[in-house]
Structure 1
Amino acid sequence: MMRQYELVERVRRYNPKTDEALLDRAYVYAMKAHGSQLRASGDPYFSHPLEVAAILTDLKLDDATIVAALLHDTIEDTDATKAEIERLFGHQIATLVEGLTKIKKLDLVSKQAKQAENLRKLLLAIADDVRVLLVKLADRLHNMRTLKWVPPDKRDRVAQETLDIYAPLAARMGMQDMREELEDLAFRQLSPEAYQSITTRVSELRQRNGPLVEEIERELRDELARRGIEADVKGREKAPYSIWGKMERKAIGFEQLSDLYGFRVIVKSVDECYRALGVVHTKWAIVPGRFKDYISTPKPNDYRSLHTTLIGPRRQRVELQIRTRDMEEIAEYGIAAHALYKDPSGEPGPMLSNESRAYAWLRKTIENLSQGLSPEEFLEHTKLELFHDQVFCFTPKGRLIALPRKATPIDFAYAVHTDIGNTAVGCKINGTIAPLVSELKNGDEVEIITSKAQSPPGAWETIAVTGKARAAVRRATRTAVRAQYAGLGRKIAERAFARAAKVFTEEAVAKATPRLARATPEDVFAAIGRGEIKPEDVVRAVYPEWAPPRADERSNGERAPNGEGWFELKRAHNLKFKIPEGASAERLDAIPIRGINGDLPVRFAPNGGAVPGDRIVGILTPGEGITIYPIQSPALQNFEDKPEHWLDVRWDLDELSDGRFPAQIMVTARNEPGSLAQVAGAIGDRGGNIEGLQMRTRSADFTQMLIDVEVFDLRHLNAIVTDLKARAVVSSVERVNG
């Protein structure tokens, strides 16, 4: 275990002005607080926070962060309190330790909502101070290094959590070395056979190639020196998890990999970066399509470098990264390399406004993801933001938009502004009209075409790639659905008040909202539309003295408040069932139905549908809206004992309407070649649209066809039926009413 003086010496190497007394106090306090506690390995528990602090000294972090690392488990696992830590070490360190204490163990497998809430706490704590993340990543790295001591049933969960959350967070913060180690440690646990196979093959390749890496390093260095460029060239094999990821993405075997080696060329200036690029491109053949300039266009995590792939020395395909020493430090340490917290006192000071792009991304992500999402949605969208490499696109005015790979113009629109995404109706990519579902490529110029009349379709949620776009689509869809239910509920409420002979005003409903346990009249109407509140209860809340007539006070000819005057409709098969009297006529005060694209949550009977010209009945299903049935549908008998679900509805269509409506017909045709073509031809000749078809063999001579057809109205449907009956191959046609 590291001694007290050894820790101080590690900090002093990069910070000669370190507060040695502060580090000593923290070391002693944490050691005493953890006392005789032991880790699963049998080591003193204090060895863990000490190792976490040691990892952070490699990142050259300030005194406050090192002290927070030493104390990070004291509040959670010992008798220490925040007040005591604040008294001994100051407010700043106490806040850091408390931020870490709030982060509970995540459970990725079985407690997703709890995990999401804890992830939210983690991100919010990081948003207040990024050093919380640095300590947490170091904590997770040491836990992964000692994973073998964790009970076997927990190892996979911890490893999977590391791959899903912590490694991507390290990558987004630009901490590539930490990311690679976290990934490889998790990969070794989750896929031990694959890990062993890859490491064995890499070892065999290393023995077969001999000192290949050293030879390529030397040749690159010598070639640059001949051109007057002094460079430090570092070569290495790719990490096992990186190799595995490439094999998985491209569905190839190990033998097909041709770029297992990566080389970094470190030069003094940006000018020398481009000069070095010119040297290697003129000396060796390049692999087309593999050049990326992250100097002129840095990644969101501040990473800057030139990337290219060459057929280099010994005809070996190698990936080359060219960067300056400052860029190398940021590439290695990421956000920890910034001067934001380099002041020895640990105070952020005036440089707080100079926060890195990576930290700015994190703040923006938290802002986007913390708006009205359920815990599960928050977790899903955060993962979407953490993963994926980037593509860089531009607005027509030259603004750079960084998006995940496979992003679409929908993602682009929401990245520009939520209002742009919500009103998008089309796009131009590089000046050419393109579908909104197109996959964007690096360098694309994207122009979004908008319309104020547009609202995002719910299907966009499955098309969008970014968490921001998906969350925005979901919010907009919920808002639109809520507006539909509120509109329906308002109409139902107005009719309930009219039946009760009471005056309906929104102001009166607003005064009654406390009695209905709702905050606003809009909430009341939406609840009525969803079937959560009965309209009579709203009337009673506004007019407490009113009471609906009792059932025995109603006559068959008298209209009741719920439309519960009854009559009997006799079907051809002599089945009797009751339907509300109001449903039997096209009443002017009934709810108007314009189709599924109107402003009400409407759908049609699943088996048979309904078309204009039918006498119709509306059934309100809680949470699903109105289902429209033709009055002759036998399915209505299922609702005979639920009169509160029946609604008076009527068609409200003008003569110029071109909307289509669903119906079903059963066609019995002779079982001979061409019969289906004749049936489809008859429907098509009349302008009908076939939506679905089921073939049922009735006998050797005849086949039944159950056809879902879309028509304009009842006359259109009857015309199709007449034409079908006129076909020689058709034996019979009848409409289906489910």
Structure 2
Amino acid sequence: MMRQYELVERVNRYNPTTDEALLNKAYVYAMQKHGMQTRASGDPYFSHPLEVAAILTDLRLDDATIAVALLHDTIEDTDATRTEIDTIFGEEIGKLVEGLTKISRLDLVSRRAKQAENFRKLLLAIADDVRVLLVKLADRLHNMRTLHFVKEDERRNRIAEETMEIYAPLAGRMGMQDMRSELEDLAFQILNPQAYQTITERLNALREKNAALIGDIERNLTEQLAERQITSTVRGRMKRPYSIFRKMEQKSIGFEQLSDIYGFRVLVDDVETCYSVLGIVHTRWASVPGRFKDYISTPKQNDYRSIHTTVVGPARQRVELQIRTNEMHRVAEFGIAAHALYKDGVKGGRNIARLTDESRAYAWLRQTIDMLSQGDTPEEFLENTKLELFHDQVFCFTPKGRLIALPRGATPIDFAYAVHTDIGNTTVGCKINGQLVPLITELRNGDEVEIIRSGAQKPMDDWLNIAVTGKARAAIRRALREAQREKYAALGRHILQRGFERRGLELNDPILAPVLLRFSQASVTDLMAAVGRSDIHASDVLNVIDPTHEETGEQATADRVKPTGISPEEGWFDLEGESSLKFRVPAGATKETAALPIRGLKGNLPIRFAPDGGAVPGDRIVGILTPGEGITIYPIHSASLKDFDDYDQWLDVRWDIEGDHEERFPARVAVSTVNEPGSLAEIARIISQNDGNIDNIRMIGRAHDFHEMTIDLEVWDLKHLNRIINQLRGASVVANVQRKND
């Protein structure tokens, strides 16, 4: 543990006029108040405020801030009072200690509505005095360094989550990038230990493999600049684990695809030399297009200034270069703390109140909070907040004020799943700041997002192309797999039901339970799904359950379409007048009770429609069972049916569509149209006026006077389709139109 004189010496190194009496008094007072208290690690509790003070000496902060660091837990954890601290150390220090005490009691990852008020208090405390933020960040940094001593998983994860979502981005917004990076890595190690370990191992292996690469590039670059009489400092480094993880997640790329694991900083004396170095680098090595950013001419909101470029280095390895002055580097390292450095001859440090004039980041924060603090309620505060606090995240709010941190590019789908998986699974729409918007809308900082839900909704395949967070994508995949499993299970149950009826048996779960092990299935639902996917044949299940049964030829082909060439016989339904395609059903059954009911894509079966022409309610239809894909519905007159000679694939199906259904169905028409201006517009007008929807148009033949095209439509039923075809035939620009079913 650091001794009293050692702390004073640390401050004296950058401030020869330090108030040693103040530091000594704070040291002794805090040590006495904490007494025999211990931390989770077993160390004396006083070691914690002492380490916080040491972190702040690295930032070269004033005497008052160092004293506050020593005292910051006394009001909360000891019998010290604000009045006593005011009396001994002055009102300024007492106010700062009390502000830190209030912040430490805030629950910033609360699931309750009061989180809005807590976050508001945090920002208001920070805006009141920047030293509150600096001490709090140092306090959090030391707590994260020792977080592994906390035994309770829930408490450890809560602290890490709060650090990742609130304090690390806040440090970044204040320009303290080194502190932000360390906080992120420490939190990442707790929240995702497997990913942290994997990336760390990969980095260590890469560092060992390319041990000499960083040194070679440093020397090469230094020599290039020295030849042109440029004094510089070149420092090489590898990206940190969380930075790599975040980039891999945002861009959905693997470790091997990262192009800027190696980075170098070139420090020079003035701005003009920065641009000279840039010219030398780009002349010497090829630059990577799209990887140049000039934050000197256009600084970031947190005062960060530097030139970024990526080049193909001497070993053909992409490396990122940051070119800046020494002063810019000091601000990049310490951020807002750099504005609190001591000036020669200024007793006790500089006037912290003047930071607003010198720091863009702090001035922005003060102005934002001053404007928003005028709201009467926390909800009004959140509604009007347009925070740009987080460079790599968007910070949004639920209508009740809960903070949701998401990566840039996130959509309402990501937001819904971040709130709760059930909310994500039932999302049908959203409002952003009170306005209805598409689910593909990219969220921005400060958006208030209201998710619209429906119990009938389930995740859709295209959501995977919308979601960007791993949590959302994983939940969507799970839901899609479960929905598909349920559909296959429903189909398998129907197939088995009909097989059982043919043998005079009753289908129930208890009768299937004994055969699960035989078919390597964990549950009856899994067995049903396997039958629906055609992984297991229904006849195999029936034969295991009823091994003594002998099927006749007709029974073996029951419920399947009979192939061409078989004459009509009793028990077979003629579906298509002169067609020889027949269906056999159980004795006493009718076509309606025996056929599998089809309700469309939104039903409870794995259904799709023929790719070349589709099918619509009113068509006589046939189902083709394809292993792993479910049922494909074809019109009975489709020419494609001749390609299916495995009769086990054929299923007797029928429409089960009510009159006022909400789903359209696919159909294809071939149109021969006059080649003149406006003919396509006239065809589209007719289809639109008749409530049809055009899904696709393809030109299949062109001549001087006529064009041939196919149009994929979405219609309600056969009657609707025929009305559109008849209307098209009556158009002057149409020579011929007919339905197509390839």
Q: Normalized against structure 1, the TM-score is what?
A: 0.55
Corresponding position of 1:705: 659
Work out which of the residue numbers 367, 388, 392 in structure 1 matches 2:391: 388
**How far, CA to CA, are the matches of 2:382 and 2:58 in structure 1?**
31
* Structure 1 equivalent of residue 444 of structure 2: 466
Query: Deviations along 1:376-416, whole A, 9 cap, x unmatched?
Result: 8967997963333499xxxxxxxxxxxx96599xxxxxxxx
**Where does 1:163-178 land on structure 2 (aligned, <5 Å)?**
163-178=164-179
Gaps of 5+ in 2: 395-406, 412-432, 451-615, 622-652, 664-689, 692-716, 724-742
1:255 aligns with: 256
Task: Please report how far the alpha carbon of residue 37 of structure 1 lies from its aligned counterpart in structure 2 after TM superposition.
Answer: 1.2
1: CA distance, partners of 2:126 / 2:17:
27
Q: 1:32 to 1:407 in 2, by over 3 A?
A: same
Looking at structure 2, the residues matched to 350 and 104 of structure 1 have their Cα atoms a distance apart, in angstroms, of: 24
Q: For the residues of structure 2 that align with 1:213 and 1:701, how far apart are their CA atoms?
A: 69
Counterpart residue number, 1:618: none
Query: Is 2:181 aligned against 1:160?
Result: no
1:640-651 matches, within 5 Å, as none
Quote the residue 1:77 is aligned against: 77
Structure 1 residues 138 and 706, CA, compared in 2 at 3 Å: closer, same or farther? same
Q: CA deviation at 1:461?
A: 11
CA distance in 2, matches of 1:206, 1:93: 46
* Secondary structure of the corresponding residue to residue 265 of structure 1: strand
Amino acid of the structure 2 residue aligned with 1:706: D
- Give 1:47 deviation, angstroms: 0.7
Shift in Å at residue 90 of structure 1?
1.1
The residue type equivalent to 1:187 in the other structure is F
The whole-number CA distance in structure 1 between the counterparts of 2:273 and 2:75 is 51
SS, match of residue 131 in structure 1 = helix
Per-residue CA deviation, residues 646-690 of structure 1 (Å, 9 max, x unaligned), is xxxxxxxxxxxxxxxxxxxxxx985569xxxxxxxxxxxxxxxxx
Whole-Å separation in 1 of the counterparts to 2:377 and 2:219: 55
CA drift at 1:203: 1.1
**Residues 239-261 of structure 1: CA deviation (Å, up to 9, x unaligned):** 11111111111111112223211
TM-aligned CA deviation for residue 313 of structure 1: 1.8
Describe the shift of the 1:136–1:704 C-alpha distance in structure 2 as closer, same or farther (beyond 3 A).
Answer: same
Supply the distance in 1 between the matched residues of 2:192 and 2:655 (Cα, whole angstroms).
60
CA contact (8 A) 1:309 1:317 kept: yes
The answer (yes or no) to whether the contact 2:175–2:335 under 8 Å persists in 1 is yes
Residue 48 of structure 1: how far off its partner (Å): 0.5
How far off its partner does 1:346 sit?
5.1
The whole-number CA distance in structure 2 between the counterparts of 1:295 and 1:319 is 17
SS in 1 for 2:296: coil
Partners in 1 of 2:654 and 2:122 — Cα distance?
69
Q: Are the counterparts in 2 of residues 341 and 348 from structure 1 also a CA contact under 8 Å?
A: no
Give the conservation status (yes or no) of the 8 Å contact 1:113–1:376.
no
The answer as to whether partners of 1:64 and 1:346 remain within 8 angstroms in 2 is no
Partner of 2:736: none
- The question of whether the paired residues in 1 share the 8 Å contact of 2:340 and 2:350 is answered with no
> Is residue 49 from structure 1 mapped to residue 27 from structure 2 by the alignment?
no
Does structure 1 retain, via aligned residues, the 8 Å contact 2:261–2:319? yes
CA distance in 2, matches of 1:52, 1:352: 22
Asked if the contact 1:381–1:467 (Cα under 8 Å) also holds between the matched residues in 2, the reply is: no
The whole-number CA distance in structure 2 between the counterparts of 1:388 and 1:186 is 18
Is 1:274 aligned with 2:228?
A: no
Match of 2:324 in 1: 323
Task: Provide the residue aligned with 1:197 in structure 2.
Answer: 198
For residue 127 of structure 2, give the secondary structure of its aligned residue in structure 1.
helix
- Percent identity, aligned pairs only, is 66
- Is 1:246 the counterpart of 2:200? The answer is no
Determine helix, strand or coil for the equivalent of 1:300. coil
Give the SS at the match of 1:235: strand
Query: Residues 244 and 36 of structure 1: is their aligned pair in 2 closer, same or farther, counting only changes over 3 Å?
Result: same
Matches within 5 A, 1:540-619: none
Conserved? CA contact 1:224–1:230, under 8 Å: yes
Unaligned runs of 5+ in 1: 392-403, 409-454, 475-667, 674-698, 710-718, 731-738
Does the CA-based 8 Å contact 2:356-2:362 persist in structure 1?
no
| Aligned ranges 1:77-476 → 2 under 5 Å | 77-107=77-107, 110-153=110-153, 154-339=155-340, 344-345=347-348, 348=351, 351-367=354-370, 370=373, 372=375, 385-389=388-392, 457-459=435-437, 463=441, 465-468=443-446, 470=447
**Paired residue type of 1:705:** G
What is the number of residues matched between the two proteins? 447
- State the Cα RMSD in Å: 3.9
Letter in 1 for 2:213: L
Aligned-pair distance for 1:151?
A: 2.4
Counterpart in the other structure of 1:66: 66
Distance 1:387 1:112, change over 3 A: farther
Deviation at 1:293, TM superposition (A): 0.2
Q: Give me the whole-angstrom Cα distance separating, in 1, the residues matched to 2:654 and 2:297.
A: 74
Q: Report the Cα distance in structure 1 between the residues aligned to 2:355 and 2:720, rounded to whole angstroms.
A: 82
What is the letter of the counterpart of residue 351 of structure 1? Answer: R
Q: CA deviation at 1:369?
A: 5.0
Any conservation in 2 of the 1:175–1:331 contact (CA below 8 Å)? Answer: yes
Q: Is the 8 A contact 2:267 2:325 kept in 1?
A: yes
Give the whole-Å Cα distance in 2 for the aligned partners of 1:375 and 1:174. Answer: 27
Listed one character per residue, the Cα deviations across residues 143-199 of structure 1 (whole Å, up to 9, x for unaligned) are: 000001112321111111110001000100110110111011111111112111111
Equivalent residue letter for 2:80: A
Q: Distance in 1 between matches of 2:3 and 2:341?
A: 29
Q: Describe the shift of the 1:277–1:45 C-alpha distance in structure 2 as closer, same or farther (beyond 3 A).
A: same
Aligned mates of 2:385, 2:156 — CA distance in 1: 23
Letter in structure 1 aligned against 2:128: D
The structural deviation recorded for 1:102 is: 0.9
Report how far residue 294 of structure 1 moved: 0.1
Q: CA deviation at 1:33?
A: 1.1
Pair 1:379–1:247, CA change in 2 (3 A): farther
CA distance in 2, matches of 1:107, 1:353: 28
Distance change in 2, residues 1:700/1:69 (3 Å): closer
Assess if the C-alpha contact under 8 Å between 1:62 and 1:344 holds in 2: no
> Alignment partner of 2:204: what SS?
helix
| Pairwise CA distance, 1:206 | 1.4
Aligned partner of residue 103 in structure 2, secondary structure: coil
Give 1:465's aligned amino acid: L
Shift of 1:104: 3.1
Amino acid at match of 2:58: D
Letter of the 1:66 partner, please give it: I
Distance of aligned partners of 1:109 and 1:359 in 2 relative to their CA distance in 1, 3 Å threshold = closer
Q: Structure 1 residues 108, 227: CA separation in 2 closer, same or farther (over 3 Å shift)? A: same
Does the 8 Å CA contact 1:63/1:344 hold for their aligned counterparts?
Answer: no
SS where residue 31 of structure 2 aligns?
A: helix
2:285–2:311 contact (8 Å) kept in structure 1: yes
- Tell me which residue corresponds to 1:554: none
What's the counterpart of residue 3 of structure 2? 3
The 3-state SS of whatever aligns with 2:56 is helix
CA distance in 2, matches of 1:97, 1:196: 38
Q: Distance in 1 between matches of 2:718 and 2:156?
A: 70
Cα gap change, 1:193/1:381 in structure 2, threshold over 3 Å: closer, same or farther?
A: farther
User: Equivalent residue of 2:660, what SS?
Assistant: strand
Name the CA shift for 1:84/1:708 in 2 (closer, same or farther; >3 Å): same
- CA positional deviation for 1:17: 0.6
Amino acid of the structure 1 residue aligned with 2:351: P
C-alpha deviation, 1:704, in angstroms: 3.5
Contact 1:247-1:254 at 8 Å conserved across structures: yes
> Which is further off, 166-175 or 378-387?
378-387
Distance 1:186 1:306 in 2: 29
Q: Distance in 1 between matches of 2:255 and 2:376?
A: 42
Q: Distance in 2 between matches of 1:87 and 1:284?
A: 64
